[in-house]
Structure 1
Amino acid sequence: MSDLKTSLREIFGFESFREGQEQTIQQLLQGQSSLAIFPTGSGKSLCYQLAALHLPKLTLVVSPLLALIKDQVDFLHSKGIAAASIDSTQGFEAQRQTIDGIRRGEIKILMVSVERFKNERFRSFIESIELSLLVVDEAHCISEWGHNFRPDYLKLPAYQKELNIPMVLLLTATATRKVKEDMCKKFAIAQNHMVQTGFYRSNLDLAVVPTSQSHKLARLLESVQGNSGAGIVYVTLQHTANEVGQYLREQGINAVSYHAGLPTEARLRIQDQFMQSEDQTVVATIAFGMGVDKANIRYVIHYDLPKSIENYSQEIGRAGRDGQASKCITLANLDGLNTVENFVYGDTPELTGIEKVIQIIQAETHGDQWEMQINTLSSSSNIRQLPLKTLLVHLEMQGVIQAKFSYYADLRYKFLVNEADILARFQGERKSFLQAVFQTGSKKRIWCEPNFKQLKQAYGAERGRAVTALEYLHENAWINLESKKITDVYQVNVARASEAHLASDLSEYFLSKEKSEIQRIANLVKFFEGEACLSKALAQHFDDAQVTSNCGHCSVCRGEIAKLRYSQKVSSPSLEDLKEFLPQLQQK
């Protein structure tokens, strides 16, 4: 215990633990997988950061956003902790330095996105490394009953077993009882190793303000002017972020617009400016926030309705992390509901699309193997990529297909040192093998492409060994290895794929999920229009029984019961809004 307290004080600068942190860390140091459910801004990350310093091997952290990974790595570096990430934005040299540091045991924490596990080069590397802990941030993404289900997260329990990682730590701020039970079951976490702190935050004033569309800008300006300090205004669409940001600037407000349509450099610049500012207002889509750990955000305003109660809880949780009084205001009407509901319907594959996927699997299976590229399959079946990935996961769960491995359809390399000099570094069979790799491939002017079929015929070696060898040469800066067009390889149960009721069963699942998502929207409206204390109702939604009395500082407690209305006649969303809103649904 004294070692933990010393690390907490000397490295992180805290004199004491927040609620739940010490219990979670102690469980990990005793070898017990854990689930930690703390409100946004309550110190979830410290649980793995401090534990990692006292664990013998590497801690591998899976995080959903590059911005969040960057923020966490920068924070750890500021504390003198050896942490790194591997992601698609990095160049050859940066990744090589990270890999070398991990092999030498100098790096304690590695952060990656879940998609990184599909990279055969990364899998080849990480399988050779001893790991102490797998951390899954935003772990509610693993549950189909959560508000932000991501199919790739379903593979994480299998990855934990394949990589022989002894423990897992799941972190989330938003989990209903059903989601908690689902997460614990998937990772075999005992109920007594689930640590949940209260959701109630006494410094947040929650207000729902019924506002017609024509009065929104004026009411927003009034709200911003009535609150000093830095703040976030959340909107649904990118063009709304631009228009509202411009309006506020014209009124003399230090405001900037932020959304996924901006160049990466611009988004990073805005984020850095906001972290340093005392009075800036960021008008943003949900693309903004998860990578921002700013303590003194004085207000969060929802210009448009959030997507769900879970999203609302996450977004208002970014206010007042310093414990000081902060405002959370929702300018509410029903105008945007039709658009949100239409995107739920658009995420539900039609029966004909599901049948098309099954037909493609049957037609393209050779022996018992099927190879698939997601872009091509999405176009052929007319199913968007996110629901298509969900469909493939359910085909796995029903025993129709089984994911075997992923590879890049296109691999190429160029020599950074002379080929003969590379071969001179090896002897015997290893040298003969590398010669075969080089000789069976095709050589262009600069780049060379390995030919795995010819290699197997000439030398009897499998693709995996060749990729591992090329990766080793890449790590040592003797070649530069590039890869693209990821291809997923599945083993197919042909008999199961031929069952007549398969497509209809899957269609029923998606229709039930659609119904659940529509109900989630209805629950959001019911929450905002409710007569119960907003703070208490929010806690109860997340299975928190600690809040037993009204808060006294929300609009309901002030006697301001909201009744939401449409500002105008309901119409279908425009084609422009549809095109713009689709990427927003993928941001989290």
Structure 2
Amino acid sequence: MPPPPNDEFGLDSDDDADLLALADEIDDADLVAFADQVDAHGTKRKSAEADGPPAKRVALDLPCAEIALTRIFGFKTFQLKQKQVISRILGGESATVVFPTGGGKSLCYQIPALVFSDVDAGSRGKGENGITLVVSPLIALMKDQVDALVRRGVKAATMDSSKSRDEYLHTCEMLRNGELKILYCAPERLNNEGFVEQMKYVRGGIRLLAVDEAHCISEWGHSFRPDYLKIARFAHEIRAERVVCLTATATPRVASDICRAFNINETEGLFRTSTYRSNLHLLAESGKTKKELYPSLIKFLKDNRGATIVYVTLQKQTEELATELRKGGFNARSFHAGMDTATKTRLQDDFMRADDLIIVATIAFGMGIDKASIRNVVHFNIPSSLESYSQEIGRAGRDGIQSKCMFYVCGEDLHLREMFARGDLPSRESLRSLLQDIFHSTNVSLPVGGEIRTSHYEQEREFDIRSTTLKNIYAQLELTHNLIRATTPVYTKYTYKASSGYDSALASDKSAATAAIKKYGEKAKTWYSIDIDSLTISGLPRADIIRKLNELDESGVIELKPAGVYNVYKITQSLPRTGPAIESYVDQIYEVMEKREQEALNRTEQMLQLITDKRCFSRALAQHFGDDLPGGKTECGHCTWCMTKTSIVQQVPPPVTFNFPAFKAILDHVPNRDDARFLARIAFGITSPKATKMKLSKHPIFGSMADHTFMVSTTPIFSTSPD
């Protein structure tokens, strides 16, 4: 499968896989091999279904957790509500944890993982301690946590597409031997049937399932991810003994969603601590343009020395602003998702060591940066939401020393605000064409239980729908309309290279799957290829063959390379067959998508209201998360409002005359005019799969009407289409 197209425009958004190094899609180079399904005595473990409900857990002693806290992590005492959370988990119950950024959420599952593995080992037998499984959407963050744990002597690993073959095999070996204590994976991996089966048969079971960034499960959250909705189902399938859901950015509504999804008692199992931190001073200033604000930024940085992160929206802005700051005498560097991994790693390492380095970055920077002495966080463009803003300023002043959080706003932010919100909603015609493709006559003729195979990558480009949006559409068909269910993506091609022990290994294995592999594996010069679908037709289950190939791969007998991913969906009820029936689904799904777009616009409006209202910034932010200032205070005393009693006025750019020459140039260059929203995106400078395919992002027409209002000034563009 070819890689997804890069965002040539350079807009790093919450949903960009490029931006946050989002963890692997399912097209990584290996379909996860099965763990060895035997216990220490050589007895095959019973299936999850045969086991019945989980046995009642015996509560473990909290002093053991305190010993682990001191000896392994070097802390003298727990902070916030860590102790209460860990006590509940060790008592066999599940919990939802809403702690601010830097509040020590990871210890809430790392400490129990050590207690499970080390303290109650005697009652379970060697290698039967089970593991803690952590679901996280960020490869970089998983890697940082694993590296830190390994340095402390804790057996931890990740399963993601960045791992080498040797690293992957070593992880499988630790799972088989019962040595691993903590395993990290991405939510997308939970669609993989092989991985689900592997987790069912982990030696000792899944003692704790930790769901990081748990706000992604809520459709009301600021970064909803449909794969998160399936985690609760996964928890039941693998019979996880306990679940802990963790987030720094959950409003009361989102926290309730999380608890409801995992059947967590909200009264007893929800642990929330104050988002307010008295050492953070929330400041704001407005101007007509960003360039007009350069002197203010330079003065602010001269008056407030120290390690600083300056957040901007576009990749090119990181370089431009870092150059301006270097001209002003600052030690400034740029950082964005488009940089190669080695450069980004070097910049992060430099920032950790330096006391005066200023990193001008997109929101690609900061996840996993555990630097306590960040003195300033500056937002030079509007954040996409109060949740994002809270998370980003939370990286400042973790050492408790006074730190400044400055937000610069101007009229240009109105354009960027729409770019945040307008990029994901496709046109109604794009959605209609996609559903017609999904409900093609070939698919609707299949019986309930039949399988639909499709390439998301090809659909993104053909129908001009972003990857995350396409997944949301499929999630609605699955979770709202119950038409399909996602299953393990399949590879259309399996090739492998045999080791020196290949012939003897196959000769000694008398299984039907091995016999089929031996008979039908066709060798070229070095690599074998095997047609799995043909073997399936012959009566041998596809899963048996793939399982055996993975076992041979895991044991080093072969080196397996699957390729060509198709997403697979099992039909759960009869699919719509007529135009009116399909149109009904178009209406329902598009209504939800329009609502989400409006919610995205509302979130940026809330961000502006934070600084333009006549009230304390700190209190307004705390109340958004269902919190308040301590001690009944109504003002913090150190934000811009409290110090000046003057609200910030966002300066709106003057209205522009409709640019007819630019409008005509767009129509002349893009002959296909049946998608009005696509034309509007080109005019406004919003990238999309089709724009990338047509290489429009570097053309003069791209963004040539960016000073217009998307839904008002571009009305003539929309009038070229029935939409």
- Both structures adopt the same fold (TM-score exceeding 0.5): yes
**Alpha-carbon distance, 1:523 to partner:** 1.3
Confirm or deny: 8 A CA contact 2:439 2:575 kept in the other structure: no
> Structure 2: how far apart are the matches of 1:317 and 1:580?
32
> What SS class does the counterpart of residue 607 from structure 2 fall into?
helix
- Tell me which of 186, 190, 198 is aligned to 2:274: 198
TM-score (ref. length: structure 2): 0.77
**Alpha-carbon distance, 1:554 to partner:** 0.7
- Tell me which of 686, 690, 708 is aligned to 1:578: 686
Confirm or deny: 8 A CA contact 2:410 2:650 kept in the other structure: yes
Confirm or deny: 8 A CA contact 1:400 1:497 kept in the other structure: no
Is 1:10 matched with 2:71? Answer: yes
Deviations 1:50-69 (A, max 9, x none): 01111231111111111111
Question: CA distance change for structure 1 residues 148 and 457 in 2, over 3 Å: closer, same or farther?
Answer: closer
- Tell me which of 519, 523, 530 is aligned to 1:443: 523
Deviations 1:490-542 (A, max 9, x none): 12256453435222111111111222111112111111111111111111000
Matching residue of 1:525: 608
**Alpha-carbon distance, 1:120 to partner:** 5.0
Matching residue of 1:20: 81
> What SS class does the counterpart of residue 148 from structure 1 fall into?
coil
Question: CA distance change for structure 1 residues 92 and 161 in 2, over 3 Å: closer, same or farther?
Answer: same
Deviations 1:6-55 (A, max 9, x none): 11111111111101101111111112111000000011111111011112
**Alpha-carbon distance, 1:5 to partner:** 1.4
Count of matched residue positions in the alignment of Structure 1 and Structure 2: 579
Question: CA distance change for structure 1 residues 536 and 150 in 2, over 3 Å: closer, same or farther?
Answer: same
Is 1:537 matched with 2:613? Answer: no
**Alpha-carbon distance, 1:136 to partner:** 1.1
> Structure 2: how far apart are the matches of 1:182 and 1:491?
27
**Alpha-carbon distance, 1:574 to partner:** 7.5
- Greater Cα offset, 515-524 or 323-332: 515-524
> Structure 2: how far apart are the matches of 1:88 and 1:222?
44
> Structure 2: how far apart are the matches of 1:463 and 1:96?
23
Question: CA distance change for structure 1 residues 568 and 235 in 2, over 3 Å: closer, same or farther?
Answer: farther
TM-score (ref. length: structure 1): 0.94
Matching residue of 1:378: 460
Matching residue of 2:356: 279
Matching residue of 1:456: 536
Question: CA distance change for structure 1 residues 483 and 196 in 2, over 3 Å: closer, same or farther?
Answer: same
Matching residue of 1:501: 584
Which amino acid is the alignment partner of residue 535 of structure 1?
Answer: S
Which amino acid is the alignment partner of residue 519 of structure 2?
Answer: Q
**Alpha-carbon distance, 1:576 to partner:** 9.4
**Alpha-carbon distance, 1:345 to partner:** 2.5
**Alpha-carbon distance, 1:577 to partner:** 5.1
> What SS class does the counterpart of residue 643 from structure 2 fall into?
coil
Confirm or deny: 8 A CA contact 1:358 1:497 kept in the other structure: no
Is 1:103 matched with 2:176? Answer: yes
Confirm or deny: 8 A CA contact 2:513 2:548 kept in the other structure: no
Matching residue of 2:99: 38
**Alpha-carbon distance, 1:409 to partner:** 2.2
Deviations 1:346-381 (A, max 9, x none): 311332222222211221414432112211122233
- Tell me which of 221, 229, 236 is aligned to 1:146: 221
Matching residue of 1:172: 247
Matching residue of 1:328: 405
Matching residue of 1:69: 142
Q: What is the correspondence of 1:65-144 to structure 2 with a 5 Å cutoff?
A: 65-119=138-192, 121-129=194-202, 130-144=205-219
- Tell me which of 652, 662, 668 is aligned to 1:566: 652
- Greater Cα offset, 441-450 or 489-498: 489-498
* Identity over aligned pairs, percent: 37
- Tell me which of 558, 581, 604 is aligned to 1:479: 558
* Unpaired runs of at least 5, structure 2: 1-61, 117-128, 659-679, 693-723
> Structure 2: how far apart are the matches of 1:43 and 1:434?
49
- Tell me which of 281, 288, 304 is aligned to 1:212: 288
> Structure 2: how far apart are the matches of 1:518 and 1:2?
48
Which amino acid is the alignment partner of residue 452 of structure 1?
Answer: I
* Unpaired runs of at least 5, structure 1: 584-588
> What SS class does the counterpart of residue 276 from structure 2 fall into?
coil
Question: CA distance change for structure 1 residues 418 and 283 in 2, over 3 Å: closer, same or farther?
Answer: same
Question: CA distance change for structure 1 residues 252 and 442 in 2, over 3 Å: closer, same or farther?
Answer: same
> What SS class does the counterpart of residue 404 from structure 2 fall into?
strand
Matching residue of 1:358: 435
Which amino acid is the alignment partner of residue 345 of structure 1?
Answer: R
Question: CA distance change for structure 1 residues 194 and 442 in 2, over 3 Å: closer, same or farther?
Answer: same
> What SS class does the counterpart of residue 336 from structure 1 fall into?
helix
Confirm or deny: 8 A CA contact 1:120 1:407 kept in the other structure: no
Confirm or deny: 8 A CA contact 1:85 1:112 kept in the other structure: yes
**Alpha-carbon distance, 1:134 to partner:** 1.1
Confirm or deny: 8 A CA contact 1:157 1:186 kept in the other structure: yes
- Greater Cα offset, 188-197 or 162-171: 162-171
Confirm or deny: 8 A CA contact 1:373 1:485 kept in the other structure: no
- Greater Cα offset, 350-359 or 323-332: 350-359
> What SS class does the counterpart of residue 157 from structure 1 fall into?
helix
> What SS class does the counterpart of residue 184 from structure 2 fall into?
strand
> Structure 2: how far apart are the matches of 1:520 and 1:65?
23
Matching residue of 2:38: none
Confirm or deny: 8 A CA contact 2:417 2:601 kept in the other structure: no
Which amino acid is the alignment partner of residue 541 of structure 1?
Answer: H
Confirm or deny: 8 A CA contact 1:339 1:573 kept in the other structure: no
Matching residue of 1:586: none
Confirm or deny: 8 A CA contact 2:619 2:628 kept in the other structure: no
Which amino acid is the alignment partner of residue 348 of structure 1?
Answer: L
Q: RMSD of the alignment, in Å?
A: 2.2
Which amino acid is the alignment partner of residue 556 of structure 1?
Answer: W
Question: CA distance change for structure 1 residues 454 and 387 in 2, over 3 Å: closer, same or farther?
Answer: closer
- Greater Cα offset, 467-476 or 32-41: 467-476
**Alpha-carbon distance, 1:457 to partner:** 4.8
**Alpha-carbon distance, 1:229 to partner:** 1.6
> Structure 1: how far apart are the matches of 2:179 and 2:233?
27
Is 1:249 matched with 2:326? Answer: yes
